[in-house]
Amino acid sequence: MGRNPETEAILRRLLEAASETWGGVQAEEMRSAFETAAEAIGVVEAFTLPRMEEPAHLPTIFPPESWRRAPKTGGT
Protein backbone atom coordinates (compact mmCIF):
# COMPACT_ATOMS: atom_id res chain seq x y z
CA MET A 1 0.00 0.00 0.00
CA GLY A 2 1.08 3.57 -0.55
CA ARG A 3 1.18 4.77 3.04
CA ASN A 4 2.95 7.90 4.10
CA PRO A 5 6.23 7.63 6.04
CA GLU A 6 4.58 8.58 9.34
CA THR A 7 2.05 5.74 9.04
CA GLU A 8 4.85 3.31 8.14
CA ALA A 9 6.81 4.41 11.22
CA ILE A 10 3.75 3.93 13.44
CA LEU A 11 3.16 0.46 11.95
CA ARG A 12 6.79 -0.47 12.50
CA ARG A 13 6.60 0.58 16.17
CA LEU A 14 3.35 -1.35 16.68
CA LEU A 15 4.82 -4.50 15.10
CA GLU A 16 8.01 -4.20 17.17
CA ALA A 17 6.03 -3.84 20.39
CA ALA A 18 3.79 -6.78 19.45
CA SER A 19 6.82 -8.92 18.61
CA GLU A 20 8.36 -8.18 22.00
CA THR A 21 5.09 -8.98 23.76
CA TRP A 22 3.70 -11.96 21.84
CA GLY A 23 6.48 -13.03 19.46
CA GLY A 24 7.08 -12.40 15.77
CA VAL A 25 4.67 -15.02 14.43
CA GLN A 26 1.73 -13.67 16.47
CA ALA A 27 2.63 -10.09 15.48
CA GLU A 28 2.55 -11.00 11.79
CA GLU A 29 -0.79 -12.75 12.22
CA MET A 30 -2.18 -9.51 13.66
CA ARG A 31 -0.55 -7.31 11.00
CA SER A 32 -3.82 -6.29 9.29
CA ALA A 33 -5.21 -5.03 12.61
CA PHE A 34 -2.00 -3.08 13.22
CA GLU A 35 -2.16 -1.59 9.71
CA THR A 36 -5.68 -0.33 10.40
CA ALA A 37 -4.62 1.04 13.78
CA ALA A 38 -1.54 2.73 12.30
CA GLU A 39 -3.66 4.50 9.68
CA ALA A 40 -6.12 5.69 12.35
CA ILE A 41 -3.32 6.88 14.64
CA GLY A 42 -1.75 8.74 11.71
CA VAL A 43 -5.01 10.55 10.99
CA VAL A 44 -5.39 11.58 14.62
CA GLU A 45 -1.77 12.71 14.92
CA ALA A 46 -2.05 14.79 11.74
CA PHE A 47 -5.22 16.60 12.88
CA THR A 48 -4.72 20.11 14.21
CA LEU A 49 -7.21 22.73 15.25
CA PRO A 50 -6.91 26.28 13.96
CA ARG A 51 -5.36 28.58 16.56
CA MET A 52 -8.58 30.22 17.75
CA GLU A 53 -10.65 27.02 17.73
CA GLU A 54 -9.50 25.28 20.87
CA PRO A 55 -11.91 22.59 22.09
CA ALA A 56 -12.27 24.05 25.57
CA HIS A 57 -10.83 26.56 27.96
CA LEU A 58 -8.99 24.43 30.53
CA PRO A 59 -9.83 26.54 33.60
CA THR A 60 -13.52 25.88 32.96
CA ILE A 61 -12.94 22.12 32.88
CA PHE A 62 -10.50 21.83 35.77
CA PRO A 63 -11.38 24.04 38.74
CA PRO A 64 -8.47 25.64 40.58
CA GLU A 65 -6.95 23.61 43.39
CA SER A 66 -8.26 26.17 45.90
CA TRP A 67 -11.85 25.29 44.95
CA ARG A 68 -11.29 21.67 45.83
CA ARG A 69 -9.72 22.49 49.20
CA ALA A 70 -12.26 25.10 50.29
CA PRO A 71 -14.16 24.08 53.42
CA LYS A 72 -17.77 23.19 52.80
CA THR A 73 -20.40 25.28 54.55
CA GLY A 74 -23.92 24.41 55.58
CA GLY A 75 -25.53 21.00 55.83
CA THR A 76 -24.38 18.18 58.03
Contacts of 1 (CB under 8 A, 6+ apart): 35
Q: How far is CA 45 from the centre of its chain?
A: 8
Mean pLDDT by 10 residues, the chain (76 residues): 82 96 96 96 86 65 62 63
| pLDDT on residue 1 | 47
Show me where the domains of the chain are located. 5-69
Q: How many CB atoms lie within 10 A of CB 39?
A: 16
